[in-house]
Amino acid sequence: MLRSFVTEMSCFAGDPNFCPECGNILPLPGVQDVVRCPRCSFSIPVAEFSGQEIRSTVVFNPVEQSTMSLEGEDDSELKGAVIDRRCSRCNKEGMIYHTRQMRSADEGQTVFFTCTHCRYQEKEDS
């Protein structure tokens, strides 16, 4: 339904969620009679959106991909996000990190890194 209006008033036709003139994302229809592009001010009558269903989903990364748990010789566990950082001791990729505010509040926090392979610990002040 939107395409018929757009072909009469615009040079382009496309997804109804985007402005046919500049490609900017259109705001959701509201109480006004038209939907106006915030970038180029192209307007489409709100009636053109009648009957359209708008859906959105949020997909989170699985927990097992974003965290890692290691069991060591002393039965303590390391938990945290695993990042691509090379260990300066064993030269293998993959370290777990966590942050702490070690200094005053107006200074940066300290980042602690622990190697997932040899458990070597490094710190970095930011």
87 is in an annotated binding site: yes
Is 11 annotated as belonging to a binding site?
no
CA distance 41 to 43: 6
Cβ distance 44 to 7 under 8 Å?
A: no
37 annotated ligand binder: yes
Separation between Cα atoms, residue 87 and residue 77, nearest integer Å: 19
Question: What whole-number distance in Å separates Cα of residue 72 and Cα of residue 106?
Answer: 36
90 known member of a binding site: yes
31 token code pair: 């109480």
| Residue 118, annotated as binding a ligand | yes
Q: Does the annotation list 40 as a binding residue? A: yes
| Residue 96 and residue 113 in contact, taking contact as beta carbons nearer than 8 Å | yes
Q: Which residues are annotated as a binding site for Zn(2+)?
A: 19, 22, 37, 40, 87, 90, 115, 118
Q: Which residues are annotated as a binding site?
A: 19, 22, 37, 40, 87, 90, 115, 118
